[in-house]
């Protein structure tokens, strides 16, 4: 996808501004501006540069990643323009720089920048660029930090959410409850948004619901329960039926009545112990407020109605289900046995996996801290590397060698419909063709190579397909010992990389 | 400190709005609004509630925490007011709620809310409230999630920064470079702000520099180096001396000249191998742009001038220092031997500790990912618990029992000037007195208690002192096996907690 942004002073040709108003051209590292000055001083600022944005390793010990954050990057460049007050601040921060540079800074936007990207929400793999960014080198450098900041966490938390979805299974309701533990306010807002992208059903975060149209969910907390002393706290005890045809004058008595009937019912005898009256008052009061969507938070006491927030969730959910079914049978309330059981309390991939193994009756999981802070691995290491300048390919020799050249990237599909391998080629090479045998090489390891006859070919940085999770071969996605998905380069690009590598590498001297 | 916020429609009596414009009353969990409705329906919304905001365990395996985020909480409540469009959204999200509730929501602000807090930047400990929040229960519930969201990460990252400062030592320069890896854009901005609070010297984040007046630092990246092909790339080769009295017409030749002289110098012979000309061109060009603040990024090549960003940082820094000293000696450049050596590349507490043990010559550390994402522990578990309603103390029985009652909290100091213990008392108990023996009890463990004769007493939720790190006994702050600082309750509060505990706990039945 190529996005050429219009002059952004007033709003980038209709592209909305970044969701967070703090995402401005100053949200970058100072060295991007000092480099921009050095490029300008050297007369190189307009040199045509191509950068790859990619990561080197899948997170969470897995073998896949989901790409998130693209829309915000596009919003950012579509509206990229330094304001006068921003320029004044930069002048004070870089007092030795010449006036002409600040005039240049005032003039720049991203109208000459092209972004090629894999669609947001796609399954992606190490080394393959998620985005290719091309334009004047000084401008592209200014985009490095904001792009990384917008993509790194977004992709990390989307991946984390997708992993939770895979372990929980499709039929379960997944609720993101992480705002209070997220890393800062928009850590929370971004988490809600990208967890939804990664496969969650809803969030507790009202602001995210409003901004992104995500369904919002919530009931009540422990504080609500403990704010009640007893049933005397409930003043208005009337409750109308939902169609308005009928009115219960004393719902509190009705509740007490039913409590007595349940306690006496043959199949339930012995199930009930002492009832905590302040808890009963809180639940009754909440039911009066939300007669159509009652969900009681149960904690530290006997389980009843029900969000389970502590204790042995597998055991409690099974016992609760039994109790619901007994009520259904005893009193003939059709459907009561299937009533929703939500579980929360420091859940993560591992605990859900453990619950699955133990057997449980949970319908919905509320997940917070571990999900939104990506506790198991709190950062994704996306990088932004120069691969070409003025049509000259550049390679960075380091612990991780970058893949030079402006590239094209394809996903090759096999007979069973699964993706087999991603391949990167030089920009001018012909595209892989369906049914034609093609040599795919590991970019750095001479011995790793394979012929592939693709049954279907997708160009990655142009494609626009979603629903990727379902299309992957399951062994790539499993939690335990997943199979690495292969990423390769064409034979031609392989040869070129190694020519450049040898050319750039200094010859050491053993002393 | 008590902050009573004025009616906030226009700006809370002069208190600025939250730094991040996304911090609005909707930045909360939906259940805060559903609870507010249930309180309102039950006629309990004006009940006077007291909540404690506290955490249960120090992060990073340490025995201390630094409190951050208070100012943003104050800004939030000082400007708390739901807008008409926010109310419209809430109506759509809670369609079964009565009109009167939304009229009530439109009317609320925090003018009737009091916040007592420990000063931001203080050393704090588990169980002692960082903030006590008192006001109408429905309003206080709405503050729970935003307060936790503003305090949790702020305190976590401030603590992380302080830990890095402690291990690096006071004379070192600590630079926060984390924006690109932070959890979302204001994860980055908050990180810069609170790392500065925790003892860092500067940040790379330009926006944070502008917002909070933090010194900003930066030089250039690898991309800058690899954007140069060779010395021919440098067009303008003139360089004026800093006082303007003198001008070098061909700085590139000067550099080459010196390179030859250094290579030939007796004491340096054999130090130099092949010079990479594109690298030399990039450094020369950067020096022309910033003659007064030249700092070359060195990576994968021989170390020279100097930010070290890869390899064995201890060894390379020692070798670089030797080289600088040799230049000083050989050519008589006074001070050249003391030139700044900055190190970066995935640094954290452990790696700095390891560098210290190996011996190094690093003057400044640039720290990113591990610092800002708090990789070693990505969340702090601050909670917000009801401790009193309408003057009735409330206790929450759970895996972690909360300490009931509106309390006063004091820090008691010993003869050597170190804090000995924090003590919580009931609101109406007399304050601990200097020189008077006082029984301090562990809130839950009967056998843990001690008499203390304080030499100095500070009321915690009123005090305003900073520079706490220095005032703590060093064994509480050390990395390895730190001594837990003691937190206690008065004998009277102890008795009351246990009375309430027994009263609330259901009597089980063994079956």
Q: What is the pLDDT of residues A427-445, one digit of tens each?
A: 999 999 999 999 999 998 8
Give the model's pLDDT for residue B279: 85
| Encoded tokens for A83 | 């304001």
Per DSSP (E only), the strands in A390-496 are 392-393, 407-413, 419-426, 438-441, 449-452, 456-459, 486-490
Please judge whether B398 and A42 are an interchain contact, meaning their C-beta atoms are less than 8 angstroms apart: no
Q: What is the rounded distance in angstroms from the CA atom of residue B386 to the CA atom of residue B44?
A: 14
**Is the pLDDT assigned to residue B407 strictly greater than 60?**
yes
Q: Which of B26, B184, B369 sits opposite A186 (nearest CB)?
A: B184
Q: What tens digit of pLDDT does each residue of B477-507 get?
A: 888 889 899 899 998 888 888 888 887 776 6
Q: What is the mean pLDDT of residues B220-227?
A: 87
Band (B310; pLDDT cuts 50, 70, 90): confident
Statement to judge: residues A16 and A154 lie in one domain: yes
Average pLDDT of chain A, as a whole number: 88
Please enumerate in sequence order all residues whose Cβ is within 8 A of that of A264, keeping only pairs 6 or more positions apart, or say none. Answer: none
What's the gap in Å between the CA of B421 and the closest CA on chain A? Answer: 28
Q: What is the pLDDT of residues A444-459, one digit of tens each?
A: 888 888 999 999 999 9
> Residue B463's pLDDT is what?
57
Q: Which residue on chain B is closest to A220 by alpha carbon?
A: B31
Which of B285, B319, B339 is a domain's end point? B339
Does residue A72 form part of some domain?
yes
Of B19, B93, B379, the CB nearest to A373: B379
Q: How many Å from the N-terminal Cα to the C-terminal Cα in chain A?
A: 52
Same domain? For A138 and A250 the reply is no
What average pLDDT does range B464-474 have in this prediction? 62
Rounded to the nearest integer, the mean pLDDT of chain B is: 88
Our measurement of the distance from residue B70's CA atom to the centroid of its chain's CA atoms, rounded to an integer in Å, reads 12
Residues of A in contact with B24 (CB under 8 A): 207
- H runs (alpha helix) in A169-212: 185-197, 206-212
Do A153 and A254 lie in a common domain?
no
- Asked if A187 and B184 come within 8 Å (Cβ–Cβ), the reply is yes
Does residue A152 belong to any structural domain of this protein?
Answer: yes
| Residue of A374, A395, A509 lying closest to B273 (CB–CB) | A509
- Which residue in B has a C-alpha nearest to residue A507's C-alpha? B274
Can you give the residue range of the structural domain that contains B309? Answer: 220-294+296-339
Residue A362 lies in a domain: no
- Of B244, B183, B433, B175, the C-alpha closest to A183 is B183
Q: With an 8 Å Cβ cutoff, are B397 and A300 in contact?
A: yes
Q: Does the beta-carbon distance from B394 to A32 stay under 8 Å?
A: no
Residues in chain A closer than 8 A to B31 (CB atoms) = 204, 218-221
Confidence (pLDDT) at B446: 84
Nearest CA in chain B to A390: B227
Radius of gyration from C-alpha coordinates of chain B: 29
Same domain for A255 and A325, yes or no, is yes
- My answer on whether B139 and B226 are in the same domain is no
For the segment B218-234, the average pLDDT, to the nearest whole number, is: 87
Q: Which of A29, A175, A191, A348 to mutate to test the interface with B (most CBs of B within 10 A)?
A: A29
Verify whether the Cβ–Cβ distance A43 to B235 is below 8 Å: yes
Per-residue confidence (pLDDT) for residue B9, from 0 to 100: 36
Question: pLDDT tens, B257-299?
Answer: 988 888 887 777 766 667 778 888 998 999 899 887 777 666 5
What is the per-residue pLDDT for A507? 67
Closest partner CB to A385 (pick from B223, B234, B399): B223
Q: How many CB pairs under 8 A join A and B?
A: 376
Which residues have C-beta within 8 Å of that of residue B215, sequence separation ≥ 6?
A: B201, B202, B203, B209
Evaluate the omega torsion of the peptide bond into residue A434 and state whether it is cis, within 30 degrees of 0.
no
Q: Which of B29, B153, B184 to mutate to test the interface with A (most CBs of A within 10 A)?
A: B184
Cβ of B183 within 8 Å of Cβ of A221? The answer is: no
* pLDDT number for residue A11: 47
Confidence of residue B203 (pLDDT cuts 50, 70, 90): very high
Are A261 and A248 in contact, with CB atoms under 8 Å apart?
no
- DSSP E strand boundaries for A151-301: 173-176, 202-203, 239-240, 247-248, 297-298
CB neighbours of residue B333 within 10 Å: 12
Residues A389 and A326 in one domain: no
How far, in Å, CA of A484 to CA of A479, rounded? 12
Give yes or no for residue B471 having a pLDDT over 60: yes
Exposed, middle or buried by CB within 10 Å (0-12, 13-18, 19+), for B444?
A: middle
CB-nearest partner of B219 from A34, A181, A382: A34
Which 3 state secondary structure label does DSSP give B174? Answer: strand
| pLDDT tens figures, A220-229 | 888 898 899 8
Determine the Cα–Cα distance for residues B481 and B463; give it in Å rounded to an integer: 29
Q: Which residues of chain A make contact with B144, given a CB cutoff of 8 A?
A: 180, 221, 223
Is B211 a domain residue? no
Mean pLDDT to the nearest integer, B204-228? 91
Q: Is the pLDDT at B63 greater than 90, yes or no?
A: yes
Lowest mean pLDDT among A55-69, A326-340, B136-150: A326-340
Output the CA torsion B373→B376→B382→B383 (10° steps).
110
A299 and B398 within 8 Å at the Cβ level: the answer is yes
Domain count for chain A: 2
Does A110 map to a domain?
A: yes
Within 8 A of B385 by CB-CB distance, chain A residues are 222-223
Please state, in angstroms and rounded to a whole number, the distance separating the CA atoms of residues A448 and B477. 51
Q: Are residues B229 and B134 in the same domain?
A: no
Q: Is residue B170 part of a domain?
A: no
Which chain B residue shows the shortest CA-CA distance from A242? Answer: B96
Distance (Å) from the C-alpha of residue B417 to the closest C-alpha of chain A?
35
Q: Is there a contact between A22 and B20 if contact means CB atoms under 8 Å apart?
A: yes
Nearest to A133 by CA among A113, A108, A118: A113
How many angstroms separate the Cα of A409 from the Cα of each of A101, A422, A479, B377? 37, 7, 27, 37
User: Largest Cα–Cα distance in chain A?
Assistant: 96
CB contact under 8 A, A149 and B205: no
Q: Is A145 within 8 Å of B31 when comparing Cβ atoms?
A: no
pLDDT at A462 > cutoff 80? no
Name every chain A residue with its beta carbon within 8 A of the beta carbon of B219. Answer: 31, 34
Cβ A203 vs Cβ A175: under 8 Å: yes
Q: Do the domain assignments include residue B187?
A: no
- Indicate the pLDDT class of residue A162, thresholds 50, 70 and 90: very high
Selected for mutation to probe chain B from A83, A139, A223 (highest B CB count within 10 Å) is A223
Which among A206, A211, A402 is the top mutation candidate for probing chain B, defined by the most B β-carbons within 10 Å of its own β-carbon? A206
How far is the alpha carbon of B97 from chain A, nearest alpha carbon, in Å? 8
CB contact under 8 A, A153 and B375: no
Q: What is the pLDDT of residues A288-325, one digit of tens each?
A: 998 877 776 665 343 355 788 888 899 999 998 998 89
Same domain flag for A309 and A404: no
Cα dihedral B266, B272, B276, B278, rounded to 10, equals -40
Chain A residues with CB under 8 Å of B366 CB are none
The Cα A430–Cα B387 span in angstroms is 70
Is A220 within 8 Å of A405 (Cβ atoms)? no
Chain B residues with CB inside 8 Å of A227's CB?
39, 44, 47, 49, 137, 386, 389, 394
Where does a domain end: B309, B339, B369? Answer: B339
Residues of B in contact with A86 (CB under 8 A): 210
Q: How far apart are CA A341 and CA A320, in angstroms?
A: 8
Q: Do A398 and B300 touch (CB under 8 A)?
A: yes
Residue B311 in this model has a pLDDT that exceeds 70: yes
A 10 A CB-CB count for A114 gives 16
Percentage above 70 pLDDT, chain A: 91
Q: How far is CA B207 from CA A157, A193, A360, in A?
A: 24, 24, 49
User: Of A179, A229, A235, which is closest to B149 when you measure between CB atoms?
Assistant: A179
Q: Please check whether residues B277 and B406 belong to one and the same domain.
A: no
Q: Which of B43, B226, B378 sits opposite A374 (nearest CB)?
A: B378
The answer on A328 and A397 residing in a single domain is no
Place of tokens 């908050």: B190
> What is the distance between the alpha carbons of residues A399 and B311, in angstroms, rounded to a whole number?
9
**Shared-domain flag, residues B384 and B335:** no
B82 contact residues in A (CB cutoff 8 A): none
| Better-predicted residue by pLDDT, A332 or B352 | B352
Q: Contact, A77 vs A110, CB < 8 A?
A: yes
Q: Do A218 and B31 touch (CB under 8 A)?
A: yes
Residue A495 reports pLDDT greater than 60: yes
Can you tell me the mean pLDDT for B84-90?
A: 97
Res A67: pLDDT: 96
Which residue from B minimizes the CA distance to A136?
Answer: B227
**Position A36 in a domain:** yes
CATH code for position B99: 3.20.140.10
**Cβ separation B38–A369 shorter than 8 A:** no
Both A18 and A106 in one domain: the answer is: yes
pLDDT digits (tens, 9 = 90+) for B181-202: 999 887 889 999 999 999 999 9
Distance from CA of B120 to the nearest CA of A (A): 16
Q: What is the ipTM of this complex?
A: 0.89
Residue identified by tokens 């972690």 is B400
- Asked whether the predicted pLDDT for residue B301 surpasses 70, the reply is no
Q: Is the pLDDT score of B7 beyond 60? A: no
Among B227, B309, B319, B376, the strongest candidate for a mutation testing the A interface, having the largest count of A CBs within 10 A, is: B227
What tokens appear for B12 in the block? 């809370």
Cβ pair B394:A226 closer than 8 A: yes
User: How far does the CA of residue B271 sit from the closest CA of chain A (Å)?
Assistant: 11
User: Looking at beta carbons, which residues of chain A come within 8 Å of B241?
Assistant: none
Portion of chain B with pLDDT greater than 90, in percent: 63
């Amino acid at each position: 996808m190529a996005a050429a942004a219009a002059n952004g002073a007033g709003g980038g040709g209709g592209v909305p501004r970044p969701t967070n108003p703090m995402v401005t051209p100053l949200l970058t590292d100072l060295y991007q501006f000092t480099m921009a000055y050095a490029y300008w001083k050297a007369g190189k600022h307009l040199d045509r540069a191509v950068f790859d944005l990619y990561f080197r390793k899948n997170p969470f010990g897995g073998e896949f990643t989901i790409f998130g954050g693209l829309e915000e990057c596009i919003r950012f460049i579509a509206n990229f323009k330094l304001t006068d007050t921003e320029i004044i601040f930069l002048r004070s921060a870089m007092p030795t720089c010449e006036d002409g540079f600040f005039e240049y800074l005032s003039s720049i936007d991203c109208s000459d920048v092209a972004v090629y990207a894999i669609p947001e929400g796609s399954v992606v793999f190490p080394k393959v660029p998620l985005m290719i960014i091309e334009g004047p080198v000084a401008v592209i450098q200014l985009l490095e930090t904001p792009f990384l900041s917008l993509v790194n966490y977004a992709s990390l938390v989307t991946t984390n959410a997708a992993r939770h979805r895979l372990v929980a299974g499709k039929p379960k309701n997944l609720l993101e409850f992480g705002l209070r533990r997220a890393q800062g306010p928009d850590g929370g807002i971004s988490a809600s948004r990208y967890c939804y992208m990664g496969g969650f059903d809803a969030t507790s975060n009202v602001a995210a619901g409003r901004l992104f149209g995500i369904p919002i969910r919530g009931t009540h907390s422990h504080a609500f329960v403990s704010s009640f002393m007893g049933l005397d706290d409930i003043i208005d005890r009337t409750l109308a039926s939902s169609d308005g045809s009928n009115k219960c004058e004393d719902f509190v008595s009705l509740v007490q009545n039913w409590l007595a009937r349940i306690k006496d019912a043959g199949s339930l005898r012995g199930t009930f112990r002492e009832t905590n009256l302040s808890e009963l008052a809180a639940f009754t009061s909440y039911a009066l407020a939300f007669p159509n969507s009652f969900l009681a938070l149960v904690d530290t006491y006997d389980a009843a109605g029900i969000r389970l927030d502590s204790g042995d969730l597998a055991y409690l959910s099974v016992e609760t289900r039994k109790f619901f079914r007994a009520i259904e049978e005893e009193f003939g309330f059709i459907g009561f046995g299937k009533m929703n059981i939500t579980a929360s309390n420091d859940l993560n991939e591992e605990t859900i996996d453990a619950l699955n193994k133990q057997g449980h009756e949970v319908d919905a999981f509320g997940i917070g801290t571990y999900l939104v802070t990506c506790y198991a691995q709190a950062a994704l290491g996306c990088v932004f590397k120069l691969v070409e300048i003025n049509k000259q390919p550049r390679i960075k020799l380091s612990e991780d060698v970058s893949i030079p050249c402006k590239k094209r990237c394809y996903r090759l599909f096999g007979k069973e419909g699964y993706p087999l391998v991603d391949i990167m080629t030089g920009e001018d090479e012909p595209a892989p063709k369906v049914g034609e045998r093609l040599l795919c090489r590991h970019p750095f390891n001479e011995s790793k190579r394979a012929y592939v006859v693709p049954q279907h070919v997708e160009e990655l940085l142009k494609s626009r397909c979603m629903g990727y999770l379902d299309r992957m071969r399951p062994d790539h996605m499993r939690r335990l010992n997943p199979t690495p998905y292969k990423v390769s380069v064409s034979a031609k690009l392989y040869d070129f990389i190694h020519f450049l590598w040898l050319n750039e590498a200094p010859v050491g001297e053993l002393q």
